Amino acid sequence: MELVVDPAGQIRALYGEDIDLATLGRPSVFRASHVEPDRDGRWHADLGPLIGPVLGPFAHRSQALAAEVAWLQEHWLLP
């Protein structure tokens, strides 16, 4: 789990349970995307909540999740 601390002391991270974020202060957790299947059983990662793209289609949910994490790390987590 990567934690990014900005100069103001705010911490950004992709949610995980590796660290109890409450020990660092009051966390604010929000949904960054939706990973859902389409009618044909292909998977898409919709990053619309962050004004991002829809990634996919992917044959497997795990592929959509991996693409979601990669996009978030590159475009949201790090400035």
What residues form DSSP beta bridges with 11?
A: 5
**Where are any strands of DSSP class E within the chain?**
3-5, 11-13, 34-37, 43-46, 54-58
| DSSP three-state, residue 30 | coil
Q: Tell me the domain boundaries of the chain.
A: 3-77
The residues, ordered by sequence, that sit 6+ positions from 34 with a Cβ below 8 Å of its Cβ are 45, 46, 48, 49
Instruction: State yes or no: cis peptide before 27, omega within 30 of 0.
Output: no
Q: What pTM did the predictor assign?
A: 0.86
Per-residue pLDDT of the chain (79 residues; tens, 9 = 90+): 889 999 998 899 998 899 999 999 999 999 999 999 999 999 999 999 999 999 999 999 999 999 999 999 999 998 6
